[in-house]
Structure 1
């Protein structure tokens, strides 16, 4: 049964955040990218909301329809055997209560983790969403790992000297509402990472940024999850642009054959039953 399988994957995913481990997540955007990431050795797959949105030709920020999100999620679940976590942005619901059915639909695809973000809204809004999401997951019989994302750093919601205190205030609220992890994109200073990791009360997830400490150092600081966010998709799109410019402006195309994943390898990866 799917619930039995999902709970096994859910237990695996939860364990990947424990015992001073550092879970490394190169974020995927479709079945092919997810399967390739898995083949590279990733222990789990997480999506990037922006990358998924761009792959459907729409901007990030819940411009993607729920139907498109669910379809992409099913593609990824079908392509991989490792735990999958999906970025739900703000929850795809106009009210906290509206995200309950959304969470249930996502869980029904086989997902065992989600991200929910606060954005510019008061933290109490995410508190309500987390409570609804937790109830929806419990009703589905799945031990869903709920990662609460706070945009205190990413959006500059408070003055720099107040960011640690504000993040920890929200961490307490979100933890009490039922979150399993705290995602703080935009944080980079080692002393601030360590302070939040030590006091958050749940595993800390950070996002890769230029100049961020390397993974081993982040692990020492107490980080339990490192996401590439949109970086992998942006790198792929940058490669597309570079080769297109070479072809269209200079008539050159030799470089496009360097570093490729071969046709046969990719076909074989996706042919796995």
Structure 2
């Protein structure tokens, strides 16, 4: 199925967020229909800070490795775009498309000196329009999933601002709206109803079950870096057990299960 069409199904598209070849293979074998990178997970894997701490060439290398081990559609988290001008961003996106990438996440916030701030709405909207225009000229078709960060930054009236921004982005070339941090059912429904773009939400402790999200109008569900984070404690316990027990018993304990 075409990646764009995956956002028009009755049930939300559940993306497996991956960070390396092992996780990409695991998600493929587990039956997922599409994959996405997580910038936070990939940065953590490589010892970099999230917020474009991972340089573009390194990201391209790892995207190529992911594409080599899975046939599934892959969308890439490009954070704020890894480029000053819209033309530079579009040129970089063309390199991703050449690898077989079908979509990207583009954020309306930027990180400077470890501090994340929202870009001004109209400034980002015009940047988005210019990126879309440059991609069209280049003949590149990518699903532009725009991430808006009022909830991430705990902005007052976050729901209202997410709707306001989503409406503007819909007019300027966005294909989807990603609102990480929203978990309230009424607010999810309000955003889905008001903004004419497929709504993407992200794994959070209070996020409703998938069936309920479908009823609320959600069309895409992301994991972010939550799976990698969940793996850290078991990994620590396993490694600590080997050292403390002076044995590999813990490694093979479940081998016969």
TM-score by length of 2: 0.90
2:88 is the alignment partner of 1:86:
no
Provide the rounded CA distance (Å) in 2 between the counterparts of 1:104 and 1:23.
24
Which of residues 45, 49, 54 in structure 2 aligns to 1:59?
A: 49
Runs of 4+ displaced beyond 6 Å: none
Provide the rounded CA distance (Å) in 2 between the counterparts of 1:91 and 1:53.
15
2:153 match: secondary structure: coil
Deviation of the 1:18 alpha carbon = 0.0
Give ranges in structure 1 of 5+ residues lacking alignment: 1-10, 261-273
2:181 is the alignment partner of 1:186:
yes
Structure 1 partner of 2:136: 138
Q: 1:223 to 1:258 in 2, by over 3 A?
A: farther
Deviation of the 1:256 alpha carbon = 2.9
Q: 1:144 to 1:252 in 2, by over 3 A?
A: same
Structure 2 partner of 1:211: 206
Structure 2 partner of 1:172: 167
Q: 1:110 to 1:196 in 2, by over 3 A?
A: same
1:238 match: secondary structure: helix
Give ranges in structure 2 of 5+ residues lacking alignment: 110-116
Deviation of the 1:250 alpha carbon = 4.4
Deviation of the 1:247 alpha carbon = 2.3
Provide the rounded CA distance (Å) in 1 between the counterparts of 2:190 and 2:254.
41
Q: How many residues align?
A: 248
Q: Check the 8 A contact 2:87/2:134 in 1, yes or no.
A: no
Q: 1:126 to 1:238 in 2, by over 3 A?
A: farther
The structure with the greater share of residues assigned to helix is 1
Deviation of the 1:125 alpha carbon = 3.4
2:195 is the alignment partner of 1:200:
yes
Q: Deviations over 1:105-164 (max 9, x none)?
A: 1111110100000112212332133223322332343321100000010111x21xx121
Q: Check the 8 A contact 2:202/2:222 in 1, yes or no.
A: yes
Greater Cα shift, 194-203 or 231-240: 231-240
Which of residues 148, 151, 154 in structure 2 aligns to 1:153?
A: 151
Structure 2 partner of 1:238: 233
Provide the rounded CA distance (Å) in 1 between the counterparts of 2:62 and 2:254.
26
TM-score by length of 1: 0.85
Q: Deviations over 1:171-217 (max 9, x none)?
A: 01111110000000000101100110111110000001112111111
The within-5 A match list for 1:29-48 is 29-48=19-38
Q: Check the 8 A contact 1:107/1:137 in 2, yes or no.
A: no
Provide the rounded CA distance (Å) in 2 between the counterparts of 1:258 and 1:197.
46
Deviation of the 1:232 alpha carbon = 1.1
Q: 1:190 to 1:63 in 2, by over 3 A?
A: same
Q: Check the 8 A contact 1:114/1:147 in 2, yes or no.
A: yes
Q: 1:254 to 1:108 in 2, by over 3 A?
A: same
Deviation of the 1:239 alpha carbon = 2.4
Deviation of the 1:259 alpha carbon = 5.8
Structure 2 partner of 1:268: none
